[in-house]
Amino acid sequence: MMEQLYHFSAPGRTEISGNHTDHQHGCVLAAAVDMQTEAEVRLNGTHLILIDSEGFAPVTVDLDDLSVHESEKNTTAALVRGVAAAFQARGCKLCGFDAKVRSTVLPGSGLSSSAAFEVLIGRILNGLFFENKLSAIEIAQSGQYAENVYFGKPSGLMDQMASSVGGLVFIDFADPRAPIVEKVDFDFSHCGHTLCIIDSHASHADLTDEYAAIPTEMKQVAAFFGKEVLNDVDEQAFYASLPALRESCGDRAVLRAMHFFEENQRVKFQVRALHNDNFSAFLTYVNDSGRSSWLKLQNVTALGAAKHQEMAFTLALCKKLLNGEGAVRVHGGGFAGTALAFVPNDRFAEFKAGVEQALGEGSCHALKIMD
């Protein structure tokens, strides 16, 4: 008798708006997309989780030891162990299983392949061992816990939430323990534009310090006012204190805080534009977001990079090809990975050809938002 085979999946996500706002308890607009991480799972009767991911070395996690392993930081094993630990802490009795994993979510693409993987593991544990007791939000929180504590990346909750909840969603993280999640009813397929990502072919490897510096510096500004995150800081008090802030925190931290206040408001404007079916205004906000990320957030080019500025080149190329139409912005964490663009349908073939002539075949991917 063959052992039962179970199937699970989790989508990648695209950040429509809200660049580096989630970790400051701000707002984001994000969506699940038609690139999936999938698993075929069999119970193995042991206390070991065995993950065989296509294109990667196999991973084994012993359920008898779900403590943080410093030697596992920045590894797949850390994510599996962390999600398992989060479920165990909620009272879930875990058993071993074998999982064959394949993914069409491009690694390093800004579509959050890691978050899709975390949500996938969460869905496996929830479905097989916890009678699906955890909500989509709680599964996302388990993934974030694994990424923050076990993997060692101080990310916000947007990536996991978008993958876990699905569809186009507005998320307010003012209370990250109970984020407000609202589905946004807008059909991008009828807006005359193609949503796509453009691969800069820059690696995220060795960029953890660059990413970590963003929430660290934003929190330094918040601490100036006796707060933990910028969402708790009064914006007027912030601008009234600029000279002292520059002296205390430095210009880059102040600029990054400026980005947060503007971007957080911009997300709400974009949602309102979509509710009002004002796609032209929405595109203006997308471009404004990209400009703010480049100028103020400064997550386009890593500090000291001169010869290799792949993301800056990608954005400049896209703007040239769009010629004032559509919109483009840095996507996700930044510094590497992908740009996000809205390209007029009648120009998409020309745009894709221009991108791939400069960046290589397969560098431009059209996306669809999935429920």
Domain boundaries, given as residue ranges, for the chain: 6-183, 188-366
Q: What percent of the chain has pLDDT over 70?
A: 97
Q: What is the CATH number that goes with domain 6-183?
A: 3.30.230.10
Q: Are domains 6-183 and 188-366 of this chain identical in fold? A: no
Determine the average pLDDT of the residues in 310-324: 96
Looking at residue 67, its pLDDT comes to 97
**For residue 297, what pLDDT band results from cuts at 50, 70 and 90?**
very high
Q: Which of 62-66, 163-167, 176-180, 317-321 has the lowest mean pLDDT?
A: 176-180
User: Cα dist. 51→48, 76, 142, 163, 328 in Å?
Assistant: 10, 9, 18, 20, 36
Looking at residue 302, its pLDDT comes to 80
In whole angstroms, give the CA distance from residue 344 to residue 241. 43
In whole angstroms, give the CA distance from residue 100 to residue 113. 16
pLDDT tens per residue, range 207-245: 778 888 999 999 999 999 999 999 999 999 999 999 999
144 pLDDT above the threshold of 70: yes
Q: Which of 111, 141, 148, 99 is nearest to 36 (CA)?
A: 111
Determine the average pLDDT of the residues in 151-165: 86
DSSP state of 178: S
pLDDT tens per residue, range 47-87: 999 999 988 899 999 999 999 999 999 899 999 999 999 99
pLDDT tens per residue, range 252-287: 999 999 999 999 999 999 999 999 999 999 999 999
Structure pTM? 0.85
**For residue 189, what pLDDT band results from cuts at 50, 70 and 90?**
confident
Q: Which of 84-98, 101-115, 336-350 has the lowest mean pLDDT?
A: 101-115
Average pLDDT of the chain to the nearest whole number = 93
- DSSP β-ladder status, 97-103 and 48-53: parallel
**For residue 111, what pLDDT band results from cuts at 50, 70 and 90?**
low
Looking at residue 1, its pLDDT comes to 45
178 pLDDT above the threshold of 70: yes
User: Cα dist. 325→2, 199, 328 in Å?
Assistant: 56, 20, 10
371 pLDDT above the threshold of 50: yes
pLDDT tens per residue, range 326-339: 999 998 788 888 89
Determine the average pLDDT of the residues in 97-106: 89
Kindly report the CATH class assigned to 188-366: alpha beta
**344 vs 111, more confident:** 344
Q: Which of 51, 49, 40, 47 is nearest to 4 (CA)?
A: 40
